Amino acid sequence: MTQQTHRPSQFGGGSAEPLLSVRDLRVTFQRHGEEAFHAVDGVSFDVRPGQTVGLVGESGCGKSVTSLAIMGLLPDRGNHVEGTAVFDGEDLLTLSRSAMRDRRGSDIAMIFQDPLSSLNPVVTIGRQVTEVMERHQGLSRKEATPKAADLLERVGIPDPKARLANYPHQLSGGMRQRALIAMALACNPRLLIADEPTTALDVTIQAQILALLKELVVDTGTALVMITHDLGVVAGLCDEVNVLYGGKVVERGGRHGLFKNPRHPYTVGLLNSIPRLDAVRGEKLSPVPGSVADNLPWTSACAFAPRCSNAIAPCTQETPQWDGDEVVGFRCFNPMGGPR
């Protein structure tokens, strides 16, 4: 599918060997007696140190399942994971449970969408931050507490020493997300996966959190996988963008290239559905018509064809192949702007 030759990323960020290299990841959900559902259907992408990679798509496109599969956090039963996710020379998907547990929180950490429900309501913020350090760095709670205060300060929580004793409900939404980020950063992970980290926040807070994440990536060289449905987030943060549809990457590119010259009709649709300040007043937004429920199976068609304004005959008859390489490309019979 992709060429195995390595080319340095031309989109900024790091240019070293990939820190995380996901190849042909497939996640299939199947319950007894029900038809299998391919939530992730052959996704490949690389993340290099210091790079921010976006996974973009609407609900149900498989972006969150991709991240959970990489983290080994999918439910024990009812799913099947194939492919590889090589992190620092090790395939995370074949690691034992306990080895994977040792990686999580220390080498790879994750930030979730809803900061309130992602914090334990009956445990103080301080305790939740120190827990991670006690777990991975063998510190005592006493040793970890000043570090936790430093960490809260670093993620921009004012009066960190007092906040340590607070419970999650005593913090505002933005502060909670900062606390979650602090927990994720407690052991200086090399890879951070952020699953819609700003969706549950006010717009002003969103900007602050994004700025914080950007700053952390630049300061520490942490690689960031940014999962979002919001192309605005992508525009501000990501070096490379993968647009997912129906469990497959349908387009990939650097953020400038992708925004300036989108090729896949789905990417175009996503871009058109963003409200614009310079649009004519009264002009309607143009959302992507239909929903993911209309998808065709990838095995015999392009899943997006029923919703696509550019669909041609082969779209409903064959699977579109990846046209491009590890850095840029798309999966479409009739791309915008004509074939490559």
Partner 1 sequence: MDKIDQTDEPTRRTSYGQRRKDRIDALAAASIDEEPGISLIRSAWKRLRRNPIFLVGLAITVAFVVLAAIAPWIAPWDVTASPLLDKVRPQTNPVPGPEPGHLLGGDDRGRDLFSRLLVGSRQTLVVGVFATLFGLLGGLTLGTIAGALGGWVDSLVMRIVDVLLSVPSLLLAFTVASLAREPSQWTLIIAIAIVQVPIFARLLRGAMLAQRSSDHVLAARSLGVRPWAIVFRHMLPNAMGPVIVQATLSLAVAIIDAAALSFLGLGNPDQRQPEWGQMLGLAQRYISEAPHLAFYPAGCIIVVALGFTLMGESLREALDPKSRR
Binding status of residue 102 toward partner 1 by CB under 8 A? yes
Binding string, 51-80, against partner 1, x = CB under 8 A? Answer: --------------------x-x--x----
Binding status of residue 152 toward partner 1 by CB under 8 A? no
| Residue number with CB closer to partner 1 (52 or 177) | 177
Residue whose pair of structure tokens reads 């607070």 in the numeric block: 166
Minimum CB separation of residue 167 from partner 1 in Å reads 5
The residues pairing with 191 across neighbouring beta strands, listed in sequence order, are 108, 223
The residue within the footprint of partner 1, chosen from 114, 232, 259, 323 (CB under 8 A), is: 114
Minimum CB separation of residue 191 from partner 1 in Å reads 12
Q: What is the spatial distance between Cα 236 and Cα 212, in angstroms, rounded to a whole number?
A: 12
Other CB atoms within 10 Å distance of the CB of residue 61? 26
| Residue number with CB closer to partner 1 (115 or 247) | 115
The residue within the footprint of partner 1, chosen from 48, 63, 103, 264 (CB under 8 A), is: 103
Minimum CB separation of residue 57 from partner 1 in Å reads 21
Give one DSSP letter per residue of 73-107, joined into a string: -S-SSSEEEEEEEEETTEEGGGS-HHHHHHHBTTT
Binding status of residue 119 toward partner 1 by CB under 8 A? yes
Residues 183-242 that bind partner 1 (CB under 8 A): 183-184, 186
Minimum CB separation of residue 194 from partner 1 in Å reads 11
Q: Are 265 and 336 in contact (CB under 8 A)?
A: yes
Q: What is the spatial distance between Cα 87 and Cα 208, in angstroms, rounded to a whole number?
A: 30
Minimum CB separation of residue 182 from partner 1 in Å reads 11
Other CB atoms within 10 Å distance of the CB of residue 339? 9
The residue within the footprint of partner 1, chosen from 49, 54, 57, 168 (CB under 8 A), is: 168
Q: What is the spatial distance between Cα 186 and Cα 103, in angstroms, rounded to a whole number?
A: 13
- Amino acid present at 316: T
Report in angstroms the alpha-carbon separations of 218 from 52, 58, 102, 182.
Answer: 10, 28, 25, 16
The residue within the footprint of partner 1, chosen from 116, 139, 235, 336 (CB under 8 A), is: 116
Q: What is the spatial distance between Cα 154 and Cα 219, in angstroms, rounded to a whole number?
A: 11
| Cα–Cα nearest to 257, from 238, 244, 230 | 238
Task: Take residue 85 and report the two structure tokens written for it.
Answer: 């996710």
The residue within the footprint of partner 1, chosen from 46, 131, 251, 326 (CB under 8 A), is: 131
Which spans of this chain sit near partner 1 (rule: CB under 8 A)? 71, 73, 76, 101-106, 109-110, 112, 114, 116-123, 131-132, 135-136, 167-169, 180, 183-184, 186
